[in-house]
Structure formats: C-alpha cells, structure tokens
C-alpha cells in the first residue's frame, strides 16, 4: 500500500489493478456485443426480415399474414424481372 499523502493530508489512493482489468473486460464485452449485433443484422438481411420491416414502414402497414403475402408477391415480382447473365 502506498503511504504517501495527498495535498489535503489524507492517504493517497492507488489505481487498483481490478479497475484496469474491469476496463479491459468492458472493452472486450463491447467488441463482442458489436460483433454479435453485426451478425444479427447480416442474418436479418439474408433471411429478408429487414426487407420486410422496410416494406411495412414504406407502406405504413402492420405485420399480418396479408401484408406478408403482399411483401412476398412484390419480392418475387422484382426477382423475376432481373435479367440472368448466364
């Protein structure tokens, strides 16, 4: 323990190694959280969940079987129009 005194005559506090380790753990947790969020966002794009959310927002619709059928019909129509290269 450090026996030096601060300016007010009280014992000076040392930087705790536990705080440093906790700071490193927090940084690791943030990095893992960001990576996980990126993975979830990629999966939502792959499985068209984000596209469906954008469709609902664009048309001011609520999620229902009818709106999902309309989304699938629009998605299939746009995919059918794309020219195939090979």
pLDDT tens, residue by residue, 7-40: 666 665 655 666 666 777 788 899 999 999 999 9
* Structural domains of the chain, count: 2
On whether both 32 and 58 belong to a single domain, the answer is: no
The model's confidence at residue 58, banded by pLDDT at 50, 70 and 90, is very high
On whether both 81 and 55 belong to a single domain, the answer is: yes
Instruction: For the chain, give the percent of residues with pLDDT over 70.
Output: 69
Nearest-angstrom CA–CA distance, 77 and 83 = 12
Per-residue pLDDT at 26: 85
The model's confidence at residue 85, banded by pLDDT at 50, 70 and 90, is confident
Q: Residue 2 domain-assigned?
A: no
Per-residue pLDDT at 52: 96
Q: Which two tokens stand for residue 79?
A: 């995919």
Range of the domain at 58: 48-86
On whether both 37 and 54 belong to a single domain, the answer is: no
């Amino acid at each position: 323990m450090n026996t030096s005194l601060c300016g007010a005559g009280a014992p000076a506090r040392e930087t705790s190694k536990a705080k440093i380790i906790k700071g490193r753990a927090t940084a690791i947790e943030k990095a893992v959280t960001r990576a996980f969020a990126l993975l979830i966002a990629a999966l939502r794009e792959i499985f068209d969940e984000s596209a469906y959310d954008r469709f609902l927002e664009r048309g001011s619709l609520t999620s229902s079987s009818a709106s999902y059928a309309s989304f699938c019909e629009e998605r299939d129509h746009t995919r059918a129009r794309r020219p195939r290269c090979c």
